[in-house]
Amino acid sequence: MPHLLLYNIKVIANFSATWCGPCKMIAPFYVELSEKYPSLMFIVIDVEELTEFSTSWDIKATPTFFFLRDGQQIDKLVGANKPELQKKITAVIDSTSQYPK
């Protein structure tokens, strides 16, 4: 995601699909998290609309979440696992406290 290569930017990218049941199930929770953590950038990528882009990220299942800092992947989660998603987001927040703001 070259356009997101800005200093100290934390991005949670959700690769999703409109026909995906687990994606629909976790979508409201993802919105809640985006409201709870305004310092993070939450984006949703529709794998059907952005097929080539999704393929370049090697998406094999939806939902797939990528956790990025300064444009670099720092973690990944495949599946609609709410507790694990929360845990990984908390880890991203905690890891950024080591960096100057």
Residues carrying an active site annotation: 20, 23
Instruction: Say which DSSP state 2 is in.
Output: G
Residues 6+ positions from 78 with CB-CB distance below 8 Å: 60, 61, 63, 64, 65
